[in-house]
Structure 1
Amino acid sequence: MREIFIKLVLTWSLLFGSTHYALANICFELPSVSSPKFEFDDSITVTSLDNVSIAANLFTPTSPPPSDGYPAIIFVNSWVLDEHEYILQAAQFAKKGYLVFSYSARGWGCSGGQVNVVGDKDMQDLSAVVDWLQANTAVDSNNIGISGISYGSGISLMGLAKEPRIKTAVAMSTWGSLTDSLYQHQTPRSFWGFFLVASGFVTANMDPIIAQNYQNLLINQNITETLNWAEERSVVNFVDLINERNAPVYLANNFGDNLFQPNNLLKFYQQLTGPKRIDLNQGTHASGEGFGLVGLESYTWDNTHRWFDYWLKNIDTGIMQQQPVTMLVDLKNKRDEYSDYPLPGQSNETFYLGARGVFSNGDLRDSPYRPWWGKTNTIYSGLDTLATTGIPVLSAILDAHIKTPVKTPMGLISRTNGIVFDTPKLSQTMKIRGIPKVKLNLRPSFSKMQIVGYLYDIAPNGVGTLITHGPVTTYNANPGKTQSIEWELVATAYDVPAGHKLGIAFDTFDLLYGIPTILPYNVKFKFSKGLDSTLTIPTVD
């Protein structure tokens, strides 16, 4: 099945990896949106530096402009969508006195050119948009903000770094490092990558390099060139340009976002030195903000209004007096607030892994495991186990918005293809906040291997609730030699109740990720006096 999946992905990439098949833009205009408070024009065209036409729409307030002009917000489309994505939110901002300019990035909607993925051409387009606003509207050039979800958020952050006329950015379901988002711990994101490449070629004019780079990650070829391409599109590498002018940044993401996982965004947030805020919600990619696009209540969109009102209209909305780091706790209607990240008062609780027995799980111990003689536990690739992230996209939505998490009977996880370690029952609630980390001492039988870790809250009945997970892949291991492998699990905010156990399971496959090989291999977990395998959990009181 895995071989078939890889062949399907490569077939899609090669089939659509040409300009001939890429001309698939979905282009339309909306009828007039009427209101006594604004005028709407859906026929805007901006000509970029290379003569590519960028399609856009504009909301203009009917109230007279302030003496310095209207504050303005630029919205940029998400992947697959176009300039009309933000129509309801744009209308709300226009009623409050903003010029609101929404455009389709090149290659999308009615815009020309090929999808550039936050490259130099996208930045030229953004500069052309600002030029157009200054030449054709009563814009206040000192108060222009930018925002977007997903793809549009990447252009927004990079635009804040590279276009000095942009004062502030709101980036939702975004990334700091595109490299880590696509390939953290050398693990290709096969599910989301396949979705992006396939959907992009159906709905946009895609640059063939996108499919080629995705193929490179899947089959582990031309990795240096591919990652260089991603690094050029990683705003973390341009954070100094944001910091130099103290530009305000508001970030929002979701703990269950397995496209742009929150780890690299938290690290980007740490590097920002100017005014900043980050809200971490529950849900999958864009689900924490998507409800606001259709007019439903949204914590992130409420804060977006307050953020722009403060920075572009000088209205004291109170947002800058609030704690700048918030985390919505999984399965609870509780949002924790903190003054910074890493979280003040956060401690790292380290558990030491002890070997499993013939009929028992391995241990998560408070002190180092020191057997009198070395011990080995072995798992085999080839079959998945009941340790899983669930159904891609759907499981994260059910967890966040319906409070139905992924659950697994821990006793049924295959002992041939997986291994489980757990603590004794906890004497008090463990409040996990942040990025768990794993270090294992492993001896693989092959040079390529993948290990996926799944962190669980194990109830007294033996059923585990998935807290988070994380993969690591190696392509140059030394077969038959013990080596230390360290990696991060995806950041989380979760309370493990007193009386439950904390557990972690490992196997060699998950639907979200591409595998390094279809050849069978085994992985030996090694335990001895000189080798400590650990699980580190970030906790707060």
Structure 2
Amino acid sequence: MAKRRTPLSAVLLAVLAAAILTAASPSPATAATERTEAAAATTGFRFVDITGSGGVVLKANVIAPSAAGRYPAIVFPASWGLNDLEYIAQAKTLAGRGYVVVSYTPRGWWSSGGEIDTAGPKDMADLSKVIDWTIANTTADPSRIGAAGISYGAGISLLGSAFDPRIRAVVMMSGWTDLVYSLYGDQTRHQQSAGLLQLAAALLGNAGPDLTGKLDDFNANRNVAQIMAWAGVRSAATYLDAINANRPAVLIANSWGDSIFPPNQLVDFYGRLAGPKRLELRPGDHAIAELTGVIGLPNDVWSSAYRWFDQYLAGVETGIGAEPPVLVNPHNAGQESYPAWSSLNGSVRRYGLGQIRWYDGTGLLGGAPSTGWSKTLPSDLNTTADGGVVLLTNGAAALTGILPQIWLPTVDRLRAGVWASDRPSSVQRIRGIPKVHLNLTGTAAQGTVVAYLYDLDSLGNAKLITHAPVSWLGTAGGSRSVDVALQATAYDVPAGHSLTLVVDTVDPLYYDANTFGGSVTVAGGSYVDVPLR
């Protein structure tokens, strides 16, 4: 029989012990609308086994207020690679605020039975079984059930609200709405993020033949249609109509630089949600913005989660429902709120790509798109321009406040196209999703280019604002146009700095579809559309 907790799990519990004490104490209110009463007494943690779908045993823990009565309940599925101890600090805090909290390890992970289902139908059935258990075995009010989580737990929670109408509120932190986009955004396979997920499954879970086969096919670039169909079943966007029919209150929180679940997929989904909704975007990478809250420290994402659940589960007026529902923290400016995503920017400025200058290998970025020029790039050579390392690069940027940076003269002009704008005397406030249109000639049937948008100072230091790859997977070579939506961002380009575009063909974050020894030519008529406030 499997041990109830593995040694590594015990270590995690020890690391979080101090955080539990912190979380158990009332913290100062950060806004007039937050609840300020002292934490209520709780039952303490109880570790339980919950029977999931098909008899699979799910390891879980539960904590609740100790006073008699019925309470709203929150279910936390653990993140990919973690177990039900992940939320122990926040569970303690929430129980003290008047919630029954059940955290569980999804099937296939750690000591839970079964094979990893990757938020598939079995995981949906399991979530409903956990809710059944919670109602039957705790003081949970069946009419006030919420679900929340980070990453994998976030995805399961949001998907679950389509299948179980008892889920009345969801907090999705660093989750996904379109797993197809997460794997194949702009027809480009995301290499490092998929590799990290595969490694965690191999070390800490029971992947089983389904997940193993899909990941093997993904890495080998075969059976793509089957993988996309499998991923579609595991995407909340597929079930948006069902979610809207159930009308849960949904809070979505993510990071601009999430390298596992890039945030562009959230924008359209958020816009089409019919129930109470809120979208919050902050600097960082996957699960970084909410990380300090996991160990019980003050954290803006978790503060929003408290207010969301208080409003929509506990029936406490926190004011969050009346606030502008789109909150953004720019990389280098103060927090901003908007009534809708479309309100972030007031205009879109088109920057045409111009002739490459012979003396410095740089073209002008700005004005109307010009014709009569071209820039040929090798299709298999990297440059110093890249998106960094999954989790680490943007995660470090969030912690330090310093965006990934290169010295632009190190970008080999024989391997990349570089276009820089004039240096305006006023700040340029980028808000939203910049879009790049490239006219290409001399392409192979399949290929990839990567576009990077930088903030360039007078000394050649270039900070990465946003980037994205785009691939074409045709049957014949020749001329074509490609359009790529760069990752959503909020960034102020300082006065006197140049907005700079770099285009190359290789980035270690992604699998490329390029031909060895080939080339691709960027031609006139290309441009960048930048949303400005």
Deviation at 1:387, TM superposition (A): 1.0
Q: Is the 8 A contact 2:443 2:479 kept in 1?
A: no
User: What is residue 491 of structure 1 aligned with on the other side?
Assistant: 488
**Residues 115-194 of structure 1: pairs in structure 2 closer than 5 A:** 115-194=116-195
Q: What is the distance in 2 between the residues matched to 1:446 and 1:82?
A: 46
Q: Which amino acid aligns with 1:53?
A: V
User: What is residue 244 of structure 1 aligned with on the other side?
Assistant: 245
Q: What is the distance in 2 between the residues matched to 1:301 and 1:201?
A: 30
Q: Is the 8 A contact 1:249 1:275 kept in 2?
A: yes
User: What is residue 471 of structure 1 aligned with on the other side?
Assistant: 469
Q: What is the distance in 2 between the residues matched to 1:160 and 1:478?
A: 44
Structure 2 vs 1, CA of residues 379 and 25 (structure 1 numbering), >3 Å: closer, same or farther?
A: farther
Deviation at 1:425, TM superposition (A): 0.9
Partner residue of 1:64 out of 64, 68, 88: 68
Q: What is the distance in 1 between the residues matched to 2:480 and 2:513?
A: 18
Deviation at 1:48, TM superposition (A): 2.0
User: What is residue 403 of structure 2 aligned with on the other side?
Assistant: 405
User: What is residue 47 of structure 1 aligned with on the other side?
Assistant: 51
Q: What is the distance in 2 between the residues matched to 1:341 and 1:85?
A: 32
Deviation at 1:345, TM superposition (A): 5.1
Q: Which amino acid aligns with 1:61?
A: P
> Are 1:262 and 2:257 matched, yes or no?
no
Q: Is the 8 A contact 1:444 1:478 kept in 2?
A: no
User: What is residue 382 of structure 2 aligned with on the other side?
Assistant: 384
Structure 2 vs 1, CA of residues 345 and 329 (structure 1 numbering), >3 Å: closer, same or farther?
A: closer
Structure 2 vs 1, CA of residues 26 and 209 (structure 1 numbering), >3 Å: closer, same or farther?
A: farther
Q: What is the distance in 1 between the residues matched to 2:391 and 2:131?
A: 36
Q: Is the 8 A contact 2:432 2:531 kept in 1?
A: yes
Q: What is the distance in 2 between the residues matched to 1:191 and 1:49?
A: 32
User: What is residue 326 of structure 2 aligned with on the other side?
Assistant: 325
Q: What is the distance in 2 between the residues matched to 1:445 and 1:281?
A: 37
Q: What is the distance in 2 between the residues matched to 1:218 and 1:109?
A: 25
User: What is residue 435 of structure 2 aligned with on the other side?
Assistant: 437
Deviations 1:458-485 (A, max 9, x none): 1122221110110012232632x21111
Q: Is the 8 A contact 1:444 1:477 kept in 2?
A: no
Deviation at 1:385, TM superposition (A): 0.7
User: What is residue 537 of structure 1 aligned with on the other side?
Assistant: 530
Q: What is the distance in 2 between the residues matched to 1:318 and 1:220?
A: 49
User: What is residue 508 of structure 2 aligned with on the other side?
Assistant: 511
User: What is residue 297 of structure 1 aligned with on the other side?
Assistant: 298
Q: What is the distance in 1 between the residues matched to 2:344 and 2:56?
A: 49
User: What is residue 351 of structure 1 aligned with on the other side?
Assistant: 351
Q: What is the distance in 2 between the residues matched to 1:151 and 1:158?
A: 11
Q: What is the distance in 2 between the residues matched to 1:146 and 1:478?
A: 48
Q: Which amino acid aligns with 1:404?
A: I
> Are 1:279 and 2:280 matched, yes or no?
yes
**Residues 411-426 of structure 1: pairs in structure 2 closer than 5 A:** 411-426=409-424
Q: Which amino acid aligns with 1:509?
A: V
Structure 2 vs 1, CA of residues 227 and 295 (structure 1 numbering), >3 Å: closer, same or farther?
A: same
Q: Which amino acid aligns with 1:386?
A: T
User: What is residue 367 of structure 1 aligned with on the other side?
Assistant: 368
Q: Is the 8 A contact 1:63 1:97 kept in 2?
A: no
Q: Is the 8 A contact 1:185 1:473 kept in 2?
A: yes
Q: Is the 8 A contact 1:482 1:526 kept in 2?
A: no
Deviations 1:80-124 (A, max 9, x none): 100010000000111122111111111113210111011110011
Please list every run of 5 or more consecutive structure 2 residues that lacks an aligned counterpart in the other structure: 25-39
Structure 2 vs 1, CA of residues 473 and 85 (structure 1 numbering), >3 Å: closer, same or farther?
A: same
Q: Which amino acid aligns with 2:452?
A: Y
Deviation at 1:239, TM superposition (A): 1.1
> Are 1:306 and 2:307 matched, yes or no?
yes
* TM-score normalised over the length of structure 2: 0.91
User: What is residue 94 of structure 1 aligned with on the other side?
Assistant: 95
Deviation at 1:266, TM superposition (A): 1.3
Q: Is the 8 A contact 2:344 2:432 kept in 1?
A: no
Deviation at 1:133, TM superposition (A): 1.6
Deviations 1:137-192 (A, max 9, x none): 22101101010000000000001111111111000001110110111111111111
Q: Is the 8 A contact 1:25 1:108 kept in 2?
A: no
Deviations 1:242-282 (A, max 9, x none): 21132210000001111101000112111112110011011
Deviations 1:223-251 (A, max 9, x none): 11110000111101111112113221000
Q: What is the distance in 1 between the residues matched to 2:135 and 2:402?
A: 49
Q: What is the distance in 1 between the residues matched to 2:442 and 2:217?
A: 24
Deviation at 1:211, TM superposition (A): 3.1
Q: SS of 1:250's equivalent?
A: strand
Deviations 1:294-351 (A, max 9, x none): 122210000101111111111111211221111111134x111111112265321111
Q: What is the distance in 2 between the residues matched to 1:241 and 1:63?
A: 36
Q: Is the 8 A contact 1:26 1:110 kept in 2?
A: no
Q: Which amino acid aligns with 1:366?
A: G
Deviation at 1:41, TM superposition (A): 4.2
Deviation at 1:511, TM superposition (A): 1.5
Q: What is the distance in 1 between the residues matched to 2:316 and 2:184?
A: 41
Deviation at 1:28, TM superposition (A): 5.3
Q: What is the distance in 2 between the residues matched to 1:106 and 1:511?
A: 32
Q: What is the distance in 2 between the residues matched to 1:234 and 1:474?
A: 24
> Are 1:253 and 2:257 matched, yes or no?
no
Q: Is the 8 A contact 1:452 1:506 kept in 2?
A: yes
Structure 2 vs 1, CA of residues 391 and 48 (structure 1 numbering), >3 Å: closer, same or farther?
A: closer
Q: SS of 2:341's equivalent?
A: coil
Structure 1, 515-524 or 414-423: larger mean CA deviation: 515-524
Identity of aligned residues (%): 36
Q: Which amino acid aligns with 1:498?
A: A
Q: What is the distance in 2 between the residues matched to 1:135 and 1:331?
A: 49
Q: Is the 8 A contact 2:379 2:514 kept in 1?
A: no
Please list every run of 5 or more consecutive structure 1 residues that lacks an aligned counterpart in the other structure: 1-23
Q: What is the distance in 1 between the residues matched to 2:232 and 2:147?
A: 22
Structure 1, 409-418 or 222-231: larger mean CA deviation: 409-418
Deviation at 1:367, TM superposition (A): 1.6
Structure 2 vs 1, CA of residues 390 and 137 (structure 1 numbering), >3 Å: closer, same or farther?
A: closer
Q: What is the distance in 1 between the residues matched to 2:442 and 2:295?
A: 50
Q: SS of 1:211's equivalent?
A: helix
Q: What is the distance in 1 between the residues matched to 2:220 and 2:505?
A: 17
Q: Is the 8 A contact 1:353 1:534 kept in 2?
A: yes
Deviation at 1:414, TM superposition (A): 0.7
Q: SS of 1:39's equivalent?
A: coil
RMSD of aligned Cα (Å): 2.0
Equivalences, count:
505
Deviations 1:509-530 (A, max 9, x none): 1121112246221011122xxx
Q: What is the distance in 2 between the residues matched to 1:436 and 1:70?
A: 45
